[in-house]
Chains A and B, each alone.
Chain A
Amino acid sequence: MKKLAILLFAALLVGNAWAQVDRSELPASGPAPEINIGDAEMFTLENGLKVILVTNDKLPRVAFSLVLDRDPLMEGDKAGLTGFVGQMMTSGTEGRTKDQIDEEIDFIGASLSASSTSIFGSSLKKHQGKLLELMTDVLYNPSFPEEELEKLRKQTLTGLATTKDDPNAISSRLASAMVYGKDHPYGEVETEETIKNISVEDVKSYYETFFKPNIAYLTIVGDMELNEAKKITEEYFADWQAGDVPTFTYEKPSRTNETVVGLVDRSSSVQTVINVTQPVELKVGDEDYISSRLLNQILGGGSSARLFMNLREDKGYTYGAYSSISPDRLIGRFNASGSVRTEVTDSAVVEFLYEINKIVEEGVTAEELEKAKANLSGSFGRSLESPSTIASFALNIERYGLPKDYYKNYLQELNSYTVSDINQTAKELIDPSKLYITAVGNGSEIQEKLAQFGEVMLYDNMGFPAKELTADADMTAEKVISNYLEAIGGKDKAQTIETAKFTMNAEVMGTVLTMAMTYDANGRYAQKTSVGGNVMQSSVILKDSGKISVQGQSMELTGAQLEEAKINSYLIPEAWISDLGYSLSLDGLKDVDGTPAYKVVISAPSGAKLINYYDQSTGLKIKNENPASGDTFYSDYQEKNGVLIPMTWTIKSPMIPVPLEAKVAEVTINEELTESDFQ
């Protein structure tokens, strides 16, 4: 009836094209559209495989997604294992090499991928037979080639090395360690050691234990009717053997008794990564679930939310500040985060806490709630355009035991919440007096300032409690330097090294990089980096001048750049401190990848600085820190001409994708140098 009225009205308008509209007011919203969420069909094979089908013949495509529903795992001394499984499965089968799988998938314009709990494949409808053949080959007959495991291990170790210095990765490990503890699947971390422990047998045994139809869901989305789905699942999946799959339970992480602060000291940081977080009891489908999404939308769900408006728009502390409330079957989590300038770290924490307190104590406004509803309804509606959304709804209904009409009523439910509902949810879910505040940044600048928020506990970059660092009571910078010189053979010996030539090799993704360095204690230095005989980059520092060249383009160094280069151009500057007029200062005992070390700043009269770390127990120099060009780690000290010299230099820099491990291939000491060495 109503529809007819609209049509009549429309017809009138069409005939009267020049009717003036009132442009002074925004058109009102029409009646909310009925959201028809397509039905999913469901059936179970005899082996227990549950099949969910969402028919959508808008396009002649079909996607198969196989998901294992197992409990989260503690991986212990093999942490990282599950990260290997998926790629290992697509790396070869009894009948196909990896290249063959790639080629056959590309040939039909399809895609295929796997993880430790899933296999996903999609293609045009007409290629579905071939796709299923490849997908089930990967599922039933993976061959787990040893060489692929080694390749993955290498990639994973390289990746791990990179994340050790990545403030965001450190922050995420720290926050997980505090919220869940290291004895919880969500808190444990993979380390070099655990990665090295993983064998092909472990991957195989994981596969044999968990890839079972009785814990699996196969969702099919696309151009397929129920009859055909039954036929093809019978054909491709009925022979898959069921088996017992172990289950696991874990103690629920509890909240801290009072707000505490976790700090990872990353002294080269100019920004602090802040997380304010706590565990939350919240599962998908819980009474508070939908209201928690509205609450979060208002607090920190985007660029018009409170955190963003306060910390970025109003204060300018950060590029962005956001929050999340994530539901989970074991334990959910509330999190608010942002990266801020070092100087405003404490002020930023104050604002985070202010906003969290305020939303719990004072609640939200009607206007904010209306906007949040419009925003979430809109994105819910748009998400329905993708048929895989419908499939994920069906999967959630099964996995989380939700009412069958849960998503059909979702928008109605979402729009029924009142201001007082949201305020109640805020009080129920968030307790502002029991938060973990984590900070990854320059400890000496921020540690004291953080103490106002709660006890400050120190952690290392893997999220383990930092070793208790106790500096020797009467240590001074001068003593650190003299201990170092003593440890390498004595100052006199060190001073006997007038010139030195080093050749070092480093391998990067299969290519060998050669670095040649020439040191002269009389203030000359030359350096060349080359590949296969081609010089990529070089620099020369003389007493009063310096030059740097990259791929044939060179430039003179002047002023502060030259001074900076000069102070970096000595092999053992510590032996010449007084001769060069350098001054020293001690900046405490620090954790260098697990080793306690004294941080000493060596300054030239020009203002240029060297920042070095010396091992507390051996006295040896183990790290040079350079905020501009990256950090160098020294190890494998060997005696040359009576002086201990590091034979492995590991260079980490934001400008190179992976840490560069350079090994000294050749050293010549006190050879006569000529002009040609510095050209």
Chain B
Amino acid sequence: MKKLTVFGLLMAWMIIPAMAQKKIEFREFTLDNGLHVILHQDNSTPIVNTSVLYHVGSKNENPERTGFAHFFEHLMFEGSENIERGQYMNIIQGRGGTLNAFTSNDITFYYQTVPSNELELTLYMESERMLHSKVDETGVETQREVVKEEKRQSYDNRPYGSILIETLKRAYSEHPYQWAPIGSLDHLNAATIEEFQDFYKQFYVPNNATLVVAGDIDYAQAESWVREYFSEIPRGSGEIYRPNVTEPKKTEEIRDVIYDNIQIPAVIQAYNLPPRNHPDSYALSMLSTYLTGGNSSLMTKELVDKQQKALAVAAIPLELEDGGIFIMYGITNMGVAPEDLESEIDKLIAQVQSEGISDRDFEKLQNIIENNIVSGNSSVSGVAQNLAEAHVIFGDTNYINQVMDYYSKVTQEDIKRVANEYLNLDGRVVLYYLPKPQETTE
């Protein structure tokens, strides 16, 4: 299964759902047990993607048990009452398919792409996972080791691997977004088997899941198989925990230095964002493209090409259901002090805040965004994920066909406005990543 990484996660959120001209057709229905089902037919290639979105991420965790949602992403490949331990992946791969999963602060997403004559198999596999996955000592022990190794590889030993963890920790004081999906190994070690079983019973229930089948399908056949395999799964009996916390607005900058196993210093800035479905999200996404998207973008041209103060710069809106963060990072060029790079970054932000963007740049942005949106739906697995998120996060599956409309409502003035409103220097988090003294890293 996919290893959750900072950049992987950021990338996953960067894929903008929906498209401009061509409408995505779909059918949807909800089973009696609450499972929402979306079908999308595209017969152009004889493959089919089956995805399940569970509306549980790290924000639904007990603060004393962080890392549970991501841990389940691993545990859910252990097998079920009918699938032998360790066989889940072999079964799919042995029939010519691929499968993967990821966990974010908001959701856990499982997906498989197979030749279209294996659709029934994927529905069987996903229904086994939802009905009676193995949640036992052996599985928990095995996956604890795997997650420990993953944490070591992807966070502790990876240069800049802890950026997301360190930034979230400071960007939120109240909201459970303050911990990253990887969570705490101590919490996982301390948890009893009953706690894992309770988590499964609370969140891995049809009324907390959205199933998408996209690709070379026959609508009637697909629907009948879905009903056959999923109807018998009982609705969850308890209440599903969703935090109702409003993060207070920060009024003071938080500034820190992190010593990491890196060679080159980096500057990180993070600004709190509105909820993902807020209208300003579109302008903020365009702003990030203006700042760092492409060879001729403002910061890339100025800081990487001209001044050569940075090796790379990127602005990424990490859009989350209850309000994410706008992360900007710059990796310094050899011999450039981070203070120096930071002040140049701030100057460029101030420039956008006071002058806004030119007509030509605005037109360029619209062109780039349009290209991204159109390209975001080029694979059935991309479409499946976008459909699921449209339903769960935006409350309307047809949102997938409206994204471009929302972007076209953004004006030149909006981009200047959101730069002033959200890139607020007084409430931001600034981190310097500096190399640990060499000898200690040996």
Which A positions have Cβ atoms within 8 angstroms of B?
6-7, 9-11, 13-14, 17-21, 23-24, 26-27, 29-36, 56, 58-61, 99, 102-103, 106-110, 123-124, 127, 304, 371, 374-379, 381-382, 384-386, 508-513, 531-532, 534, 536-537, 548-551, 553-555, 557, 561, 628-629, 655-656
| Docked complex Cα distance between A557 and B115 (Å) | 60
Q: A17-B231, A61-B375, A107-B360 are in contact. Are A26 and B437 (CB under 8 A)?
A: no
Distance in Å from the Cβ of B82 to the closest Cβ of chain A? 5
Asked if residues A385 and B367 are in contact (CB atoms below 8 Å), the reply is no
B251 CB–A CB distance under 8 Å: no
Q: Quick one: which of A14, A29, A384 contacts B224, CB cutoff 8 A?
A: A14
Identify the interface centre among A378, A379, A386: most chain B CB within 10 Å of its CB: A378
Interface assignment of B26: CB less than 8 Å from any CB of chain A:
no
Would you call B379 and A385 a contact (CB within 8 A)? yes
Cβ contact of A378, chosen from B96, B123, B363, cutoff 8 A: B96
- Separation of A278 and B360 alpha carbons in the complex (Å): 57
Q: Which of B196-241 contact A (CB under 8 A)?
A: 216, 218, 220-221, 223-224, 227-229, 231-232
Known: A13-B224, A551-B265. A123 touches B120 (CB 8 A): no
Since A7-B221, A19-B228, A124-B367 are in contact, a sample of 5 more A-B pairs with Cβ atoms closer than 8 Å, ordered by chain A residue number, is: A13-B227, A60-B21, A550-B437, A553-B436, A655-B438
Chain B neighbourhood of A378, CB < 8 A? 93, 95-98, 114-115
The verdict on B294 contacting chain A, using a C-beta distance below 8 Å, is yes
Binding site for A on B (CB under 8 A): 19-22, 31-32, 42, 44-47, 81-82, 90-91, 93-98, 113-121, 123-124, 128, 216, 218, 220-221, 223-224, 227-229, 231-232, 259, 263, 265, 294-297, 308, 333-337, 360, 363-364, 367-372, 374-375, 377-380, 434-440, 442
B20 touches A60 (CB 8 A): yes
B368 & A106 in contact (Cβ 8 Å cutoff): yes
Task: Specify the chain B residue showing the minimal Cβ separation from A561.
Answer: B439
Contact between chains at A10 and B220 (CB < 8 Å): yes
A555 CA to B436 CA, complexed, in Å: 10
Q: B227–A107 contact, CB under 8 A?
A: no
A106: B residues at CB distance < 8 A: 294-297, 364, 368
Decide if A513 touches B124 in the complex (CB within 8 Å): no
A99 partner residues in chain B, CB cutoff 8 A: 296
Shortest Cβ distance from B221 into A: residue: A10
- CB within 8 A of B437: which of A58, A511, A553? A553
Contact B296 A103 (CB under 8 A): yes
Chain A residues, Cβ within 8 Å of B22: 58-60
* Minimal Cβ-Cβ distance residue in B for A658: B334
**CB atoms of A374 and B96 under 8 A apart:** yes
A461 to B226, CA, bound (A): 60
Does the CB pair A377–B437 fall under 8 Å?
A: no
Report yes or no: B45 in contact with A32, Cβ–Cβ below 8 A.
no
Q: Is the pair A655, B82 in contact by a Cβ cutoff of 8 Å? A: no
Would you give the shortest CB distance from A545 to chain B, in whole angstroms? 14
Closest chain-A Cβ to B153's Cβ sits at a distance in Å of: 12
The interface residues of chain B lying within 8 Å CB-to-CB of A628 are: 442
Choose one: A14, A31, A548; the contact of B117 (CB below 8 Å). Answer: A31
Interface centre among B31, B227, B368 (most CB of A within 10 A): B227
Q: In the assembly, what is the distance between CA of A386 and CA of B229, in Å?
A: 31
A20 and B46 form a contact (CB under 8 A): no
Q: Closest residue of chain A to B379, judged by CB?
A: A385
Contacts of B44 in A (CB 8 A): 56, 58, 385
> Complex formed: what's the CA distance from A279 to B369 in Å?
48
Q: Closest Cβ of chain B: how far from A148's Cβ, in Å? A: 14
What distance in Å separates the Cβ of B378 from its nearest Cβ neighbour in chain A?
6
When the two chains form the complex, which single residue of B116, B333, B370 contacts A124, counting CB atoms closer than 8 Å?
Answer: B370
Closest to A36 in B: B46
Q: B206 → chain A, closest Cβ, in Å?
A: 13
Q: Which of B115, B119, B378, B380 contacts A59 (CB 8 A)?
A: B378
Give chain A nearest CB distance to B140 CB in angstroms.
23
Task: Let me know if B46 and A381 touch, CB within 8 A.
Answer: yes
B337-A534 in contact (CB<8A): yes
Instruction: Find chain A residues with CB under 8 A from B375 CB.
Output: 59, 61
B382 to chain A, nearest CB (A): 10
A6 to B120, CA, bound (A): 13
- Measured CA separation A59–B22 after assembly (Å): 7
With A19-B228, A378-B98 given, is the CB distance from A102 to B295 under 8 Å? Answer: yes
Q: Which residues of A contact B308 (CB under 8 A)?
A: 509-511
Q: Closest CB-CB distance, B331 to chain A, in whole Å?
A: 12
Contact residues in B for A385 (Cβ distance below 8 Å): 44-45, 47, 379-380
- A548 adjacent to B437 (CB under 8 Å): yes
Chain A residue contacts of B379, Cβ below 8 A:
385-386
B45, B121, B368: which contacts A27 (Cβ < 8 A)?
Answer: B121
Q: Are A59 and B377 in contact (CB under 8 A)?
A: yes
Does the CB pair A18–B231 fall under 8 Å? yes
* Complex: A611 Cα to B334 Cα, angstroms: 29
Q: Give bound CA distance, A31 to B231, whole Å.
A: 26
Instruction: Say whether B117 contacts A30, CB under 8 Å.
Output: yes
Choose one: A7, A33, A109, A548; the contact of B216 (CB below 8 Å). Answer: A33
Q: Which are the 3 A-B pairs with shortest beta-carbon distances?
A: A378-B96, A531-B335, A109-B371
CA distance A60 to B19 in the complex (A): 10
